[in-house]
Structure 1
Amino acid sequence: MKILATFLYKMFGAGLIIAVLTLVPFAIFLAILGLELAVCVIQAYVFSILTCSYIKDAIELH
């Protein structure tokens, strides 16, 4: 992500016409970032549900 962010930063600073053309890769960058955040949230949710399930089983079965 850092490589793509650095590329977009340099493209925005290149000039007005190039900056306008950089809006499409910037939108793709935001979409990828949103997907990564969604995956992080889903992983945290699954981890917490599994942890709660394992703790419940450890308490109730012993």
Structure 2
Amino acid sequence: MKKLGVSFDEICTDNWEAFASVFQEYTHKVGKKYTTDIEGNNTLLRHRIRRAVRKTCCFQKSLKTI
């Protein structure tokens, strides 16, 4: 991360073993209570991007109606 020029005070992740080995030198908080906010933001951003690049303006359950 330092090579990329990214700086931060702490890392918040879920309890996945790979994160513990990668972020050993940083302040590392583990738990879903730290990650739920950013996951919500990522979901909202992904939803809005998908809406912007959708080929049709309508949303139908059946392909016959499009």
TM-score range for the pair, normalised by the shorter chain length: 0.3 to 0.5
Quick one: higher RCO (CA 8 Å, sep 6+), 1 or 2? 2
Higher helix share: 1
> What TM-score comes out, normalization by structure 1 length?
0.40
